[in-house]
Structure 1
Amino acid sequence: MIQRVGRRLQEAVVSIGVGLLSGAACARVQAQDVPHAVASGTLRIFFVDVEGGQATLFVSPSGESLLIDAGWPGKDSRDANRIVAAAKEAGISKIDYLLITHYHDDHVGGVPQLVAQIPVATFIDHGPNRELDHGVTEHGYAEYQRVLASTGAHHIVARPGDRLPIHGLDVVVVSADGNLISEPVNGGGQPNLFCKSSETHPADETENGRSLGVLLTFGSLTILDLGDLTWDKERELMCPANKLGRIDIDVVSHHGWYQSNSPALIDAIHPRVAIMDNGAKKGGSIPTLKTIASAPGLERLWELHFSEEGGPQFNTAEKYIANPPGEDGHFLEVSADRNGSFKVRNSRTSFTERYTAR
């Protein structure tokens, strides 16, 4: 197990209380003063529909919030509006931590519009942009840097093995800036027999392979979110030994695209539930849908959108899809208890399925 506590991160959080004087920052620090007994409540996770990007909002029982990515720019603030609506439903008025997995437009692009609507106390990322494309990625990174400079919010550059200081939720960084954890977490470390059946892909040179991935633990429940981490990096992380152990909820990498989600990852982590933040025409690749459907121990695949590529043959059943053809804006919500039991709700229909503790 990783023992490093991330002292510099803890010191950074303390500095928020003394260095930031905004009402949002003060409210966040007060929330940290709530006794740890509060953490016996429910963890809520909102998978916001940003139509092929990512925006996943975690709200711990302490009331602290972690948002992973902010969706697309433009579109009349569509994605920022949807994130703020999810925050309102969760009963929060600020984002304590905004984690940017990488600097592609569908993940970082919505940051300027988001901070115009709701305060963000702390930003977390993997460090400088590495994809010098002289185009959209560099533009998105530059806009993000402007937000960091103008808001005065705290900024954490995360490294593999760091623990992020989110009260009520244990969050370990497992990948960042192309680097990976060197020691297993979550009881992992066993030989990964699925490596033999998983192809080898060439190295990805984009920001995808730099994704800031995290393993989140709430009591007995484990959740994995690797951003858009690619097949080659998955193999480094999972072969010859599985460094991640078994996972209850897998946030399907890369919107379910074929460049990620190798059998070496999906089969080895043995997810009970997979949740895919795909769009109708982005992600949800047939190879990924087939890999997830055949994953050992999988109880259910949920999708934010019906995948046009997957069609009726490969998509999950309609009641597990937030947005069927022609619809958008509906979200999926997970409510979890510390004993490892949880339920998933489709906001479109209110259909809910419960999963007992493992």
Structure 2
Amino acid sequence: MREKLFFAISTVIATLLVSAAAPPAIAAEGPLTIYFIDVEGGAATLFVTPAGESLLIDSGYPDNNGRDRDRILKVLRDEAHLNHLDHAAVTHWHLDHFGNHASLASEIEIKNFWDRGIPETLAEDPNFEERIGFYRAASQNESKALAAGDSLPLKSGQTPLAVKIITASREVIPNDGPPNPFAKTNEPKPRDKSDNAASLSFLLSFGDFKFLCCGDLTWNVEAKLVTPNNPIGQVDLFMVTHHGLPVSNNPVLVHAVDPIVAVMCNGPVKGGHPNTLKTLRGVKSLQALYQLHRNIKVAAEDQTPPEFIANSAETSDHCDGTFVKATIAPDGESYTVQIGRDGKPATYKTRK
């Protein structure tokens, strides 16, 4: 009896010692989620990191009875289950990109505002001074200006996460990296004096996964970024630049980054231009192109198949405002893309 009691006590003590010496279990991290919100030819892209941090790039058009603001809030609250934004960024100063930052700030807390710097005037917008006043008030004049080469201060976990600014105010990151095999195909266009050319561009990496968003960056600055060398490398997911308009999406960049999946944030009549669609069809590795809208002015055979189009209505009055969602696995090794909450996810492997 004494031997059995001694054995039992020894077993308990040994178990306690092993438990005390063992390191605590590391909680599994969640995925990285990206929502491409339908703002009908504007832009609004929401990111939720494994650490629960949120980033909204651009905010769609104002007015329209609060259409875009409400769609952003619906995704933010009902899909991402957020009650604030950690970061809100503006790629450039056109109204379809910063139109709702102020009205969103009246509904939810926005902790940090990021932009390329606020100009005093904007030649293409005679109402800019009035419009920017609302943004200044929402940000309390404390928005932070980003330059090419900067990084956003996002928390990184077991799978490294980073968001780097690769263009800003017509400047680009150093042209390091391997030679771009498409560099000789570049055909320069007249200098774009609009604010589109000054867009912020974001390169997100999550483990091996890479995502590229260039706002409304235009042709010549796209070429400046990737010629003669390609400092970006190839990406997995590409947000088609400038809603799919042909003043952007220079093949010298699109073919160099060689995305596996692309998402086009176009509207029923804006973006999704046949020239851009032709460029995308020439991408060697492209497996899927998702469009937020069917372009009602472009032939069906020139667009992506209907099952990859989130919204097909001809007018806003009949549009459901369905989003496209990308979910990147916690280890960054694969990702899914689906249309809306109930869409069937398609799975893609992250390139090495």
Q: TM-score, normalised by structure 1?
A: 0.84
State the alpha-carbon separation in 2 of the partners of residues 282 and 232 from structure 1.
21
- 1:128 aligns with 118
State the alpha-carbon separation in 2 of the partners of residues 265 and 256 from structure 1.
14
State the alpha-carbon separation in 1 of the partners of residues 27 and 83 from structure 2.
19
- 2:20 aligns with none
Q: TM-score, normalised by structure 2?
A: 0.86
- 2:322 aligns with 330
Is 1:347 matched up with 2:302?
A: no
- 2:133 aligns with 142
- 1:105 aligns with 95
User: Runs (4+) of structure 1 moved beyond 6 Å?
Assistant: none
- 1:24 aligns with none
State the alpha-carbon separation in 2 of the partners of residues 352 and 211 from structure 1.
31
State the alpha-carbon separation in 1 of the partners of residues 232 and 125 from structure 2.
36
Report if the CA contact (8 A) 1:104-1:140 is conserved.
no
Describe the SS at the equivalent of 2:183. helix
Residues 54-96 of structure 1, C-alpha deviations (whole Å, 9 max, x = no match): 0000000100000000111111211111111111211211110
Deviation (angstroms), 1:167 = 1.4
- 1:165 aligns with 153
- 2:167 aligns with 175
**Of 230, 238, 245, which aligns to 1:242?**
230
Deviation (angstroms), 1:38 = 6.3
Residues 218-264 of structure 1, C-alpha deviations (whole Å, 9 max, x = no match): 11110001100000100100111112110100011100000100110
Amino acid at match of 1:352: P
- 1:96 aligns with 86
- 1:314 aligns with 302
In structure 1, stretches of 5+ residues that fail to align are 1-34
Amino acid at match of 1:61: P
Amino acid at match of 1:156: K
Describe the SS at the equivalent of 2:143. strand
**Of 256, 262, 268, which aligns to 2:256?**
268
Deviation (angstroms), 1:128 = 2.1
Describe the SS at the equivalent of 2:82. coil
Identity %: 38
**Of 42, 45, 64, which aligns to 2:53?**
64
Amino acid at match of 1:199: E
Q: Which moved more, 1:111-120 or 1:231-240?
A: 111-120
Deviation (angstroms), 1:349 = 5.6
Report if the CA contact (8 A) 1:289-1:310 is conserved.
no
- 2:12 aligns with none
Residues 119-164 of structure 1, C-alpha deviations (whole Å, 9 max, x = no match): 1000000002363335244443232123222xx7x52211111111
Report if the CA contact (8 A) 1:322-1:348 is conserved.
no
- 2:19 aligns with none
**Of 27, 42, 46, which aligns to 1:53?**
42
Is 1:117 matched up with 2:113?
A: no
Describe the SS at the equivalent of 2:182. helix
**Corresponding residue pairs, total:** 316
- 1:277 aligns with 265
**Superposition RMSD on alpha carbons, in Å?**
1.8
State the alpha-carbon separation in 1 of the partners of residues 133 and 124 from structure 2.
13
State the alpha-carbon separation in 2 of the partners of residues 140 and 39 from structure 1.
44
**Of 82, 88, 108, which aligns to 2:71?**
82
**Of 170, 191, 195, which aligns to 1:203?**
191
Describe the SS at the equivalent of 2:112. strand
Deviation (angstroms), 1:183 = 4.6
State the alpha-carbon separation in 1 of the partners of residues 27 and 273 from structure 2.
41
